[in-house]
Structure 1
């Protein structure tokens, strides 16, 4: 049987959905909240206090963010290592409270839904993108867990880490990214709000311009509520944080009208603003390239990814995928090899035939179920596998440590959604949706209601 995500299994209910992404009964419930935001007069700049999501910040990036401004939100989402994880969480809670006392972070006077816009610059010959969505407090209890569709597995350790941080700080420090398909009325509210003066405008170091508006009118909020009430959402980014929301809601289910019943999200209607889907690459930290290649048997085909450059290797990877092959680029020793396979017998032995064929043929499925588990016998833990969103960074790390970089081709969003609708979860870190929301533009304190 297809794997049902452990995140939503406790709240699973019979499917009531059609392919259009609408639900027959209660769907998404997005509530306004009093956002906690930086006072621009108290920080060097708004851009200097933002951060990418916690799970894409590496050690060098964290240091740059910390030194850029002493109030950068990275100090909250990734507190510096302390004698115990719990003391790190307490330090983050202390900073959060201290910054509020000093007026560095201030609460908006009225509950609002927030329209959030990102404009990304052109890169590599492609046009920039415009994305707009709604930030609010999404219900996670009861049926709501059934209308939010995870598509990736989660690992216990990162979930426990996020749970500890939120439990101690009593705050949603960064929104998770969800996609949905609405009837257009919520989008109309978004577009009208974006015609007015924003609460804030800032441009981050990657060239992305961010703007934020508050929707406080009860009539506009009612329009949004009606539209979303018949929708379900796909988790694009933030599976471990969604699992955190669910676990903490269950911990506090004895409370009536509990702020733990909701979690901070950014909802993007992809009918109007399609997201980009990129691959997440692997670095096998303790497996040299020579050993990785020598372990491959006749069920695999290995060839040079012509041209000898990363761009040519990625082009060869794309061509292999267009031909319908499972394909990977293996590198780390200065050369790029295209690896395709396996044969049908090898796949059948590793992945049960009763799984959906789209799942069985995912590159991530083949990589984890066949190559990592059976051929290379690499455990899926941080001591053995690193996950990087940038191919060049993955290549550099593999070359520096003598490991193996495995480069993947991105999965189409349609495949992700179809599998999620069947209750099938992909191996973790199978996709990278974007652009991701910047962390630090608006926070949600549970102490504010």
Structure 2
């Protein structure tokens, strides 16, 4: 990837990753490190997954990232009180030296991902240092900002990718060399992923990594709402200061390619029969018999020819494809690149949600965004709603659109594996 940045004085600047003193669980104070971790806040399937995580350990990180109370203000104050109590009790402790953290995720299916966790200086969109690729929902940014204000902490890193040359760079060498050493922590979570964490505190090594990363720009793979939250809070606080930075995991995808999965939609209050009936004459709809994996294979074949989706929730699967070209011409904005206009997510939001089904995309009462495919189907069947299953977008399409400054519809992609929440936190008042 070409380096990009903005100028401070006359020097161009790319990614500026800064060491910090991480907050980490004391393994002697918790049942197990695996029991206190969680997927990122927006991946937790609620309420089932939330209840499961809360009962896994009294110190599970969901009590900070997804506090439960009657009102938002009470929830956020509860999270702040919980964080203060865990710090005072020594459940969470602050590392003695500032450092950058090497983080590894490994799975039996062959997936291996390594990256660097640090505090990244926040940049303006015009600088081209950090490229978003999705729109955000204002109410989610407001919610995350209120929680971050109350706790004065970055509770979980967002995931950024950059393109090194794969080997030979200072950052890549530091990651691989560090991963040969005994880790600070090692645990395996119930999803089958093993997690290891190391810290790099040597000033010379840190300087080499920082100089290397300063030549690069990054793509937000996961965490658009948290990035928007970081930027909102930076504007609220004096600069220079700790709010000028946000907690991130940086992965070189030339060396460790990410997997790109779809994020599915659950439409509350819209039965499948009504959703299908509304498509008459607008899309082709075919009922599929058989299990979910077979239906997803049929969807993968269908998207090669046109926009395509799977509807579920009534015990069967319905393949929706071949939209009427005149319908698309009327409903999809024409002032965007062709790659954007033809995205499944674009057609879903502009044509189906807005024009056909009349469902507001940012209303939690009407729509939920769920990463787990089977869970989306199960919840639709249980609640009488409609699951809309998507096929993932290729990473090259995402990156090309981001370079053009074009954002995709919200919740268009799910890059992974995502960092586990709870392994390292960053306090802003330390």
Q: Tell me the equivalent position of 1:207.
A: 192
Mapped contact 1:284–1:403 kept (Cα < 8 A): yes
Task: Tell me the alpha carbon deviations over residues 323-354 of structure 1, each in whole angstroms, 9 at most, x when there is no partner.
Answer: x3100111211121111132222111112223
**Counterpart secondary structure, 2:13:** coil
Q: Are positions 1:228 and 2:207 aligned together? A: no
1:65 positional shift? 1.4
Q: Distance in 1 between matches of 2:414 and 2:87?
A: 33
1:28-427 aligned within 5 A: 28-57=15-44, 58-82=46-70, 84-122=71-109, 128-142=110-124, 146-183=128-165, 184-252=169-237, 255-305=238-288, 307-322=289-304, 324-380=305-361, 381-427=363-409
Question: Deviations along 1:9-66, whole A, 9 cap, x unmatched?
Answer: xxxxxxxxxxx24226311100000001011011111111111101111212111111
Per the TM alignment, residue 294 of structure 1 is displaced from its structure 2 partner at its CA by 1.1
Q: Secondary structure at the match of 1:41?
A: coil
Q: Do the aligned partners of 1:117 and 1:212 also contact (CA within 8 Å) in 2? A: yes
Q: Structure 1, unaligned stretches of length 5 or more?
A: 1-19, 123-127
Change (3 A) 1:145 1:260: farther
Distance of aligned partners of 1:286 and 1:387 in 2 relative to their CA distance in 1, 3 Å threshold? same
CA deviations on 1:208-259 (whole Å, 9 max, x unpaired) are 100000000111111111111111111111111001100000011xx24300
Aligned equivalents of 1:256, 1:316: Cα separation in 2: 53
Partner of 1:55, secondary structure, is: coil
Q: Is the 8 A contact 1:141 1:249 kept in 2?
A: no
Segment of structure 1 superposing worse, 391-400 or 26-35 = 391-400
In the alignment, the residues of structure 1 paired with residue 186 and residue 323 of structure 2 have an alpha-carbon distance, to the nearest angstrom, of 50
Inter-partner Cα distance in structure 1 for 2:284 and 2:274: 16
- Is the contact made by 2:123 and 2:130 (CA closer than 8 Å) also made in structure 1? no
What SS is found at the alignment partner of 1:98? helix
Deviation string 1:380-436 (CA, Å, 9 cap, x unpaired) is 211111211122111111111111111110000011111111111111111111000
CA distance in 2, matches of 1:309, 1:318: 15
Partner of 1:436: 418
The 8 Å contact of residues 141 and 262 in structure 1, kept in 2 or not, is answered as: no
Count of matched residue pairs: 419
* 2-structure distance, mates of 1:138, 1:181: 17
CA gap of 1:389–1:287, structure 2 versus 1, over 3 A, is: same
TM-score by length of 2: 0.95
1:138-177 deviations in Å (ceiling 9; x for gaps): 0004579631111111111111111001111110000000
Which residue of structure 2 aligns with residue 7 of structure 1?
A: none
Distance in 1 separating the partners of 2:426 and 2:114:
19
Match of 1:9 in 2: none
Q: Distance in 2 between matches of 1:213 and 1:144?
A: 34
Instruction: Give the aligned partner of residue 9 of structure 2.
Output: none
Q: Structure 1's 21 and 382: CA in aligned 2 closer, same or farther, altered over 3 A? A: farther
Contiguous gaps of at least 5 residues in structure 2 = 6-11
Shift of 1:86: 1.5
Tell me how large the CA RMSD over aligned residues is. 1.4
Deviation for aligned residue 1:299: 3.3
SS in 2 for 1:65: helix
Contact preservation (8 Å) 2:299, 2:310: yes
Contact 1:182-1:227 at 8 Å conserved across structures: no
Counterpart CA distance in 2 for 1:106 and 1:292 is 51
In structure 2, the CA distance between the partners of 1:398 and 1:256, relative to structure 1 (3 Å rule), is closer
The alpha-carbon distance between structure 1 residues 387 and 422, as it changes in their structure 2 partners (threshold 3 A), is: same
Measured in 2, the distance between the counterparts of 1:196 and 1:155 equals 42
